[in-house]
A = this chain, B = another copy of it.
Amino acid sequence: LIAQDHDAQLIALDWGTTSLRAYLLGESGTTLEERSLPLGVMRLHAEIEKSTAGVSEVFERAFQQGCGDWAESMASVPIVAAGMVGSANGWREAPYLSVPFDLAHLGAKLTQVRTARGNLIHIVPGLLQNIGLANVMRGEETQVLGALTACALLKCERDFLFGLPGTHSKWVYVSGRHIRHFETFMTGEVYAALCAHTILGRGMRYGSQPDPLAFDRGVQVAGSAAGKAGILSTIFSVRTLGIMGVLFPEGQPDYLSGLLIGYEVDSISRLRSEQVLPAKMLPEAIVLVGEDSLCARYLRALKLHGYEDVQIVANAAQRGLWEVALQAGLVLSKQVPPARKTEGPFPC
């Protein structure tokens, strides 16, 4: 069942490393329909390297599979895409913008690619932080913009810290609509590699339920005196606590997850105390953005590290893509109340 042409305002694509999420958005950015396909840039890039098909051909096919029906039946509806689709390994490179960056200007920096059938796709650029060890993001800038919009914080001058857990977690320092600084943690990808490709995975069994106590134990070890030996050392305890019968095979995956997320949260506290990330914030100024069950894990780990008032924002990608389209004049604004009242838990 396809939404009516006159309802649809925007085709919004969150096109990352592992998946293509397509949203059909209506008036004021409300979601009419959404889809998720395992057609991430990593897989498409691998396909291009293996086959004789060119970049355009492979991305075109994925696009048609994801939302070709929308693009054809609603030819006048604009299309905006964010994420790795704009990387050097993506469909068309959207050059990085530099940090600090004013998120109000994101919509003015789009890169275009036209499909074989004539649809124009507007690609959001990523951000580059060329200070110390360089850092890059693609897609998260759009999610942060979406989260700021959702919380009606676009005009707030206070410091905020956005945590975006995932394959590569990002922690983003925002104030006055600017992304000031960000950090990357490869926690999700390292977790997957350790489980699938080291001895730690051999003793693991995946239960039907998560094991929150094993997770908490991992978080606590990361923050303990023993944790100071560092990840390379303490991850071995997945195995030794298994040998000792302290950790059952079903608890080992969540113990390792807690250990790694615990180290990430510990690093955030350290970077705050060294004022690389904002040190003086209101307690409720830490905002998690991302997939529900993953945010729940981070919320739990943050609580164990003393962060009690963390907020979670949902659907940040759609909201961000809508906001980018608004900035670019691709859709029209309607005066609607923000998703949450300004007098809520947020202080602006």
A225 CB → nearest B CB, Å: 8
A196 at the interface (CB under 8 A from B): yes
A303 at the interface (CB under 8 A from B): no
A231 touches B230 (CB 8 A): yes
Q: Could you say how many copies of this chain the assembly holds?
A: 2
B186 touches A226 (CB 8 A): no
B199 touches A197 (CB 8 A): no
Q: Which of A258-311 contact B (CB under 8 A)?
A: 260, 263-264, 266-267, 270-271, 274, 276
A244 touches B134 (CB 8 A): yes
Q: Which of A108-126 contact B (CB under 8 A)?
A: none
A interface, how many residues as a size bin? 35 or more
On whether A270 and B228 interact (CB within 8 A), knowing A134-B237, A193-B194, A194-B190, the answer reads yes
CB < 8 Å neighbour of A228 from B88, B189, B221, B274? B274
B186 touches A237 (CB 8 A): no
A130 at the interface (CB under 8 A from B): yes
CB < 8 Å neighbour of A263 from B190, B232, B243, B271? B232
Complex contacts, A186 vs chain B, CB 8 Å: 198, 200, 232-233, 235-236
A78 CB → nearest B CB, Å: 30
A168 at the interface (CB under 8 A from B): yes
Which 9 interchain pairs have the tightest Cβ spacing? Answer: A134-B240, A133-B237, A230-B267, A193-B197, A193-B193, A185-B232, A184-B236, A132-B226, A197-B197
A-B pairs with beta carbons under 8 Å apart, 28 shown? A42-B199, A133-B236, A133-B240, A134-B237, A134-B240, A134-B241, A134-B243, A134-B246, A135-B240, A136-B240, A183-B233, A184-B236, A185-B236, A186-B200, A186-B233, A186-B236, A189-B198, A190-B232, A193-B194, A193-B198, A228-B270, A228-B271, A229-B271, A230-B263, A230-B267, A230-B270, A231-B231, A233-B267
